[in-house]
Structures are given as C-alpha cells and as structure tokens.
Amino acid sequence: MTTQNFKLGVVQFMAFPNSDQNPEALLASLKTIALDADFSLVEVTRMPDRETLTKVRSLLESAQLDCGFAATPVILRQGLNPSATDETVRRAAADELKKCVDEAIALGAKTLTLMSGPFGGDEAGELRAFIKTLDEICAYASDRSGSEPLIILVEPFDRNVDKKALVGPSPLAGELASEMLSRHGNFGLLIDLSHLPLLGETVDECLISLPSESVRHVHIGNCVTAPDDPLYGDQHPPFGYPKSENGVEQVRIFLSALHYSGYFSRPSPYGLPTVSFEVKPLPDQDPLIVLANAKRVLRAALAS
C-alpha cells in the first residue's frame, strides 16, 4: 500500500486553530494547503459569511482540491443535540443540520460529517431519536444534491472521557450503520484513530463491530489518556507529544486493518479512498511543521 492508493486530506480548522471564522486567516490557510500537492482533500466547517464561501469554493476549484464539510463544530459550538429525546431540542438540531447540508452543497463538498449528542442515559431512546434525525438529513441531502447525493457521515466519539457522546462505542455505531444503510445509500461512518484509545477499543475491535461497507472516510490523529495531562481527552495533539497514544506503529496497524477490511478497494465519494490528518499544533507550534510531522509518521507507517 502506498499513497497512490488513497487521497490524503487535512482537517483545516484543527490544523489551523481559530482560523475558520476569520475570513483572511481561513483563506490564507486554505491557500497553504492548496500549495501542498500532497493534499487532495480539505475538510472545512461553516463559513464566516457568504462572500468567504464563494472565495473558498473558487480556491478549491482552482486547486482541484476535494472538499468535505464538518458539521460537528457547529453542533458543539451551538450545543445542539441531534439525539435528544426531547422533540423540540432534536428538531432544532435537525433544522440547523439542514442549513449545514445547504452550505456543504454550495461549497461543492461531497461529504458532511456530524456527531450524535451527549449520552444522557437512555441509549435505546436516544438512538431512536438520532436515527430519526439522520433519516431527515440523509433524505434532505439526497433531495438537494441530485444525481450524486451528499454523503452523510457519522463520526463516533468517546463515551466517558471528553465528548461523552451517545455514539460512541463501536458496537452501537455498527447497529446504527446497519439500520441506516438499509434505508439510505448516502450514509456512512467516519472512523478516527485518535478516538479509539478514548473508547478503550483496538482497531480490530472497532472494525469487526461495523458493517465493512459503512466506513467511508477515516482520520489519523493522536490523543492522551493520562488524566493528569493538560491535553487529556479529545485534543488531537501532534504526533510525538509526551504520554500520547498514537505514533508510527499505531498508524501502521490502523492502515493495515483498513486494508484487510477492504477499505482501500471499495468505492469512495471521492473516487479514491480518503485518509485525513486531524492534528492540532500546540500554542507555540507552526501548523506547517505539525503537518510535515504527520506526513513523516504516515510515510514511516506505510514503509514499515
């Protein structure tokens, strides 16, 4: 397996913190990514305004960069709960996510990623509510985006550490995926390597719990599980951070398991399968150095 087997991406708002709502900083960071021919995909979130959206789409088209839209920051920043058993709360989340679908389509994105709400103790009831939301969003996206529907991806997060999300443990994500795939062709899962240690799961335990065809995008990142560390939880520190969980060997195992699951030979919304870095520089670090570090880790993993 080589980088020829997949498109490499980067999560813009994580690699360039505090830039996504500043038009100048957002466009400057996207120009930097566009100038790096290693990257074929960039994941962005809600634009600060319509003018910036137009400029971003033009930049992406000029660079022939694929785009994914992340609704998760919108959910977290607005305190939305797409899995709420309170219908008023769930409805508000669904309405906001439909706006995200419209923006994703306007940007030319091929996927939209979201997360469940926090786990409130009623797993069965909350899962039913989340499925109701996803039914609406998948149908809305299909209606709005025509012959190549926008793919709606759910990203599982930790249950007990940081985000404390309903989805969540891989067996529950697998149950959700099986239900959704029976009704919507534009549904999938996004699996993030950095979330597995926070869930207490190995890569094999995760993937064996999921319908293989449900995994449609992956993130490579890092995390810290030591409670006494300032970056404990879902903070996506750079590779090599002390006490962190993932490095060359963990990335190698992840990619190998994905390979044997058939991930790199299945159809993808982006043509080739996709792998994105989700890493965040420390306050005193240059984002470009952190991304270069991530690429070295990936290359070492592929070569080992």
What was the pLDDT predicted at 146? 78
Q: Which residues of the chain have pLDDT under 50?
A: 1
Are the CB atoms for 214 and 221 separated by under 8 Å?
no
Global pTM reads: 0.96
Instruction: Please list, in sequence order, all residues whose beta carbon lies within 8 angstroms of the beta carbon of residue 177, skipping any fewer than 6 positions away.
Output: 154, 187, 188, 189, 210, 211, 214
Q: What's the chain's Rg over C-alpha atoms?
A: 18
Q: What is the pLDDT of residue 4?
A: 61
Cis amide prior to 79 (ω within 30 degrees): no
Amino acid symbol at 290: V
Rounded CA gap, 217 and 242, in Å? 28
**The dihedral sign for the CA sequence 278, 284, 290, 291:** positive
DSSP H helices in the chain: 12-15, 23-34, 50-63, 72-78, 87-107, 123-145, 170-181, 196-199, 203-208, 248-261, 287-303
Tokens representing 54? 């137009």
Residues 11 and 34: their CA atoms lie apart, in Å, by 13
Beta bridge partners of 42: 10, 67
Nearest to residue 134, comparing CAs of 201, 206, 189? 189
Contacts by residues 205-211 (CB-CB < 8 Å, ≥ 24 positions apart): 205/170, 206/170, 207/170, 207/257, 207/258, 207/261, 209/170, 209/171, 209/173, 209/174, 210/170, 210/173, 210/174, 210/177, 211/174, 211/177, 211/178, 211/181
